[in-house]
Amino acid sequence: MMKASKTAMAEKKPKLHYPNGRGRMETVRWVLAAAGVEFEEEFLETKEQLQKLQDGNHLLFQQVPMVEIDGMKLVQTRSILHYIADKHNLFGRDLKERTLIDMYVEGTLDLLELIIMHPFLKPDDQQKEVVSMAQKAILRYFPVFEKVLREHGQRFLVGNQLSLADVVLLQTILALEEKIPNILASFPHLQEYSVKVSNVPTIRKFLEPGSKKKPPPDEIYVRTVYNVFMP
């Protein structure tokens, strides 16, 4: 009986706890989807739901994202991403590859964070921030990846296989293209790369209508976040 219980636990779908929108959970959705892992979601809509998780000692640092997976309740976005990526062979073959992936991911997440916070800015500041994001992407971040792809001539960023770095970069590129459609105009290798990674079967499926990929944040999502997290 004990052995069967452990097997059932291992086969249980991950459950994601977060509001019904992108935020910091969207990258987790992307990585699970890229790995071909089905998952469930429990959307937070009220302070009471968050308080219940906090009171039940389900949140190590009293905050979400939180993912129930393999009998654990994981928090901290980067830790969640590392666990999923490592488990599903999206985190390189050796220490050198993992370190490269980690550097690329950390840099890209810095850019992605600007996109995540954009809907919560005052309306007058949002357009200014789009200009700022475009400048940072074009001058600081995208040249790095353009150079990497040009120099090694491979399909993916590290080790010529799909990794967490590719997933996070594609997510960020597509989110920026929603606001600035020609953001890759000066980066031919990134343009080709974006198409190739988008056509990885598991990612292509995630990009199709009806998937668990969340739409761009709207007023309803912003209100929900305020309802859940603001005092």
Mean pLDDT per 10-residue section of the chain, whose length is 231 residues: 45 92 97 97 93 83 90 93 97 96 97 95 92 95 97 94 98 97 97 98 97 95 91 74
pLDDT of residue 61: 80
CA-angle at 21, arms to 15 and 27, nearest 5°: 65
pLDDT of residue 230: 82
pLDDT of residue 6: 47
* Cα(140)–Cα(143) distance, integer angstroms: 6
Q: Where do we find the tokens 């056509």? A: 199
From the centroid of its chain, how far is CA 201?
Answer: 18
| pTM of the complete model | 0.92
For the chain, the farthest-separated pair of C-alpha atoms sits apart, in whole angstroms, at: 61
CA-angle at 181, arms to 34 and 78, nearest 5°: 35
Output the CA torsion sign for 155, 159, 161, 163. negative
pLDDT of residue 133: 94
Distinct helix (H) and strand (E) counts, the chain: 11, 4
pLDDT of residue 2: 42
Query: Tokens standing for 77?
Result: 């976005």
**Residue 118: CB atoms within 10 Å:** 18
Residues 6+ apart with CB under 8 A from 222: 119, 120
**Domains of the chain listed by start with CATH number:** 15-88+208-219 (3.40.30.10), 95-199 (1.20.1050.10)
Question: Cβ(113)–Cβ(121) under 8 Å?
Answer: no
pLDDT of residue 128: 93
pLDDT of residue 7: 44
Element (DSSP H or E) covering residue 144:
helix 142-152
